[in-house]
Each structure stands twice: as structure tokens, then as C-alpha cells.
Structure 1
Amino acid sequence: MNRRRTKAAAAGALLGLTLAGCSLGGVQSIPLPGGADLGGHPYTVRAQFADVLDLVPQAAVRVNDVAVGRVSSIRLADDGWSALVTMKVNGKVRLPANAYAHLEQSSLLGEKYVQLSAPPAGEPARGRLAGGSLIPTSHTNRNPEVEEVFGALSLLLNGGGIQQLKTVSVELNKALTGNEPQVRDMLTQVDTLVGDLDSHKQDITDALDGVNELSATLAARDQKIGTVLTGLSPGLKVLDQQRGSLVTMLRALDTLSGVAVDTVNRSKDDMVADLQALAPTLQRLADSGKDLPDSLQVLLTYPFTDEVLSGVKGDYLNVYLDLTAVPGTQLVPILESKDNSYDSTAQPQDGTPRSKKPKQQKQPRNQGGLPMTLPLPLPSVTTTSGGR
């Protein structure tokens, strides 16, 4: 009877476990005995790994090798290249916001677990790791797998380098012996180059992003580029047909350049002599200073200033002007005086012989019968003794 009750209880327990497993989403959702104590108020932390290997849900989450939580789920991240691990951590655990997550193994063939740690000594801690925080890929890493170590060791032992170590060592000794300063200088330059590349990594990244954008733009305009290349083909055919003429032209240009260079070399002495002969003239022009531009101001100016007299000593300066009156202008004739006319009949009262008065010259008249006016008088100037 007791055995029957025990079997019934075991069956009931198994059925309850099965129903519980169906309602909670599988066996993986059932907490394992002996796991980490999450306390009454655990918080959720997410970490993005480039590779989680064979990490499974319910794996331990440790801090300083002390279990403080467990992995609740593992899924593909939104970028499609990394894994997103969701963990539940005891609420009493305090970590900075820039904490690191490492995927480690408990032993050589043991289980995988996630190790949470504070940032290294060179990086200051910031803030606090709270619920819903995400540890980025730059703060996650993993240890090498045993299979990877054995594979590298197998490659090394099976003709991958052991047999050649002696040869490599001997050749390195031959190459480095006596060249230590040069090798040290080369290593220094390599270190400087690597440092410069590291300091300009943002610029290099920006350049690569620009090349990526250019490639995307070219890919979006591939039809237009194809049309342009198709339109260039007739021109390329013409250039190919006229290749002989182009080659001949370039050869003629080469010959012409040779002749030009030879001509310049031959006439170099004469050119230098001409420039040297021109130097005194240029020096006199430079010595004239402001006198030359001042003289040009009065060269074509009427009436001329007194400065012109110094340039026309001993000669006359005549100016002929043709003036055209504005239509409608009234010309006033010159009045003639009767006192200046010649009188041949007038006889003096005292019996003295009469004197002939010079008869006034007849005023010239134009075709209309009006007297012609004389030209305007020149301005009065005082001539020097050398003038005429």
C-alpha cells in the first residue's frame, strides 16, 4: 500500500513538473538547484557578444568568481552579426556603468559562464550599472577554446613551424648581426608609424566612410555612368583612328620645343646684352620721377600752361581751330568806324599839305555778306630773350 502511494506521489510530481514546464516555456526556464541567489529585487543586464560559443541559458553569471546571477536568454542582436545575452543579477551587486563582460570556462572541459568586472585600471569607473543597461561589444570578450588551442598546436607540431624554427633562428641571427642600429631605427620608425596611424584612426575611418558613400552613390547612378561610357565609345574610336596624327603632332611639338630651347640658349647672351643696354634708359626714366607724368598732363591740353614755353623756346606755337556754331546762333558783325576811313578831298585850313590817312583794310565777308570775325586772341605771355 505504501509502495502504491509512493508511486502515485511520484507520478503526480512528474505530471506537475511536466505541466509546469509547459506553462513556463520549457525545461530551460526552470531554476536549477544550487544556482545563484538572485534575492528579492534582481535587475536585468544585457551584453552584446561577437561570439558566445556554446553558452546556454541558465548559465552562471559571476563577479570575482562568485555566482551573482544567471543567463535568462540568448538571441541574435538587431545588427544580425552578434549575440545578445540577457542576464539577471542580484540587486545587491554594484557595478559601474562601463563594466566589462567576459565569456569564460570553469575548467578545461567545464561549463561556460559570464564574468562581470569593473573597467581596467587605466579607465575610470563611471556611474552605476542599472536595470536595462547594455554592455556593448567593445566591452565584451571571450577566452580561447580548447579546440582552438589544440588546433594551433597541431598546426605547429605537424610541419607548421617546429622544423623550421632552427632555420628561422639562424637566418634571423645572420640578418641582424652587425645591423642592430639599423634594426633599432627601423623598429622606432615602425613604432612612430603605428602611433601616427592610431592617432589618425578616426580620419582613416572617416575616409573609409567617404569611400563607402562614394561607392553607394556610384552604385545608385550606374545607369547614368553606363550611358556616359556608351557615349564615350564613338569619341574613343575617333581617337583611335587619329592616333597616328596625334603621335605625329606630339613628335612635332617635341621637335618644336627642342628648337625653342636651342633658340633661347643661343640668344641668351644677346638678350642679356640688350637688357643691360636698356638699363640706363630705364634708370633715367626712374630718375625722372613725377616729372614725366606731370608733363603728360599738359601734352594735349589747351590753352597750354606756362610750362610749355620751356619746351618751345626759339620757335612759334600755332594753333588752328575749326569751330562750329550751334544751330540758331546769331552772328553779330563788327562795327566799322568812319574816322579811320581814307579821305582824299579833305584839305587842312592852314594850307599845309594834306596827309594821307591810311585807308582801313576792307573787312572780309562771308558768302552771306556778313563780316567774318577774327579768331580768338591767344593768351598774353611774356617771352624770354631767346624767343622770336
Structure 2
Amino acid sequence: MSTRTVAPLLKLVVFAAVTLLLTALLAQTLGAFPPGGVTYRARFTDVTGLLPGDDVRVAGVQVGRVSGIRVVDDTLAEVTFTVTSDVPVATSVRAKIRYRNLVGQRYVALSEGPGEGRPLRPDGLIPLGQTTPALDLTVLFNGFRPLFTALNPEDVNKLAYEIIQVLQGEGGTVSSLLQRTASLTNTLADRDAVIGRVITNLNGVLGTLAERDQNLDQSISQLQQFVSGLSADRTAIGESLVSIGELTDATSSLLRDVRPPLAADVRALDELSGTLNRNAAVIDSTLGRLPERYESLTRVASHGSWFNFYLCDFDGNVAVSGRAPLDLPTFSAPAARCAGGSQ
């Protein structure tokens, strides 16, 4: 095997060994306690949120895990848990369910009770009088809701966690809790001007709305009527849309068919306009003589929807081949209608 192959293989083996070792340590840390622990039982009035696998702690140090939960006597919960054999548990022990974090995880906390008790036998029972259920966070936080609504999420989390710790006896005192609450309240008091302006502006908006409530009601009523009318005519509207679609298709087809002759007509119109433009003088002269011509035609057609022609004057000659022209007799009518000129 060459040196180039051995070096990468050695690195791979070392990496795999370290990975397996760390994985084993993680599994031992997160997994159940090794066999040999002692099992005990405790009864509570409420174990909501406690699950098998949750921690069992003494003075904040993990010493075991919850192995099972069941209902006894129809109203009580019996928790079975295992504690390492090197941790003594006496008959005077106190068991409390406490919150591990704000997410809702819980654990069983064991503490020594008053007096000197005997060692608790394996599978021994901690009675109901020596257990304490977890705090009801819903009732607790409802009391602080007005304060929480005015804080940012980070301050809410810090204050809520300190409240839980104080009431569970895990940290601080009620005095320190009140001091922190007072500091948060002072922060709100420092912003009273901003809050006052917001309330004033809100009052102005609400006042404007109150002054125009009739218009607003009327607008809402008209909108409701409009929407109701659309809803009632939705069938007709749908059919109209279908008809519009069909009309659009037909119009598109018509325009497609008409386009070639329409283009030819446009070209012919262009030629006509050019011709008219080139003969503008003739057209102007013709239009200028039309009134006189129409007046003469009116006299001719004055007796009905036909034209009357009268011979008022006549003269002429006849040309004969090889001879001088022959003059014809001249004729002139004496009628009054011929007095205006030759017809």
C-alpha cells in the first residue's frame, strides 16, 4: 500500500473513532440512567406537563428520570421514577413538580423534609401530603397580563422566568422580584408622555369616526346591498362574461377576415386623396359654379319631377358636298319663358 493511500486512510480512521466516542458520550448523557437505580413512587393531585423521561433532581442536580405516570383512585396521578443508588431517599422526602423553562418542560425536585426519616424502601410511596404539584402558569400570568402587554418579548421572558423561580423557591426573593417589577413600571412611567399622545390621537380618530357614523353606516349598507345584488345576479353576470368571451372571439375572427380588403381600401383611399389634392383648383372652380347651375336646373324642373325643355331660338345651315351651305330659316319664339335668355 502506498504512502499516499495510508495517510488519508489513517485520517479517516481517527475521524471515525473520535466521532464514535463523542456519539457514545452524547448518548450516555441524553439517554436513560444506567441500570442499578432504585425505583420509587409519588402521588400528586396534578402532573400536567410532566412526561416519562423528564428529570428527577436533588438541589438542582440530575439524579434520575421519570419512568412512568398512571392514574390511581380516579383522581390522583402516581409518578414512578428512578434515582441512582448512591443518592439516599428518606421517608420524610418532599417531592415537587417544577418548571424547567417557559416552554413547559418540567421535572421532579426532591428535597429533605423536617425531622429524621427512615430510608425509603425500593418501590416505596411518597404520600400525597409530601408532594406539591406545579404552579398553574395560566392563572399566574393572567395577573401580570397588563404589565406583560407593555413590555418587549425579552423583558417578558426574563420577568416570567424570575416569577416562576421565586414562587418555586429556586432563586431570589419576593423583594428582588418586586424591585425588578418596579423598575419595569418606572420605565413605563417614563414613557407616559408618548402613551398620552397615542391616547389623544386615538381619541381624535374615534371622535372623527363617531361624527361620521351615519355616513359610515350608510356606506356599509350600500356596500352590503351592492354585494347582495352581485350575489343575486351572479348567474346573469357569469353568462354575460361567457357571451363577452364569445363576442370577443367573433370580433377577432371578423377583424382577421376584414383586414386584407380593409388594407386595399385604405390604399385606394390614399390614392383618391392624392388625386383630389392634385385637382384642388378644378374642384374649387366646380363647387363655385354649382349654385348657379342648380338654380337653372331648379327653373327647368319647377313643374314636377321631370325636366321641361323649350326651343326659343333656332338657326343653322346644311352643308352639301360639292355645293355651298344652305341656310335654314331662322326661328325665334315670342313666349315669355324665353325672355330670360336662350334655353
**TM-score (normalizing by structure 1):** 0.29
TM-score (norm 2): 0.33
More helix by percentage? 2
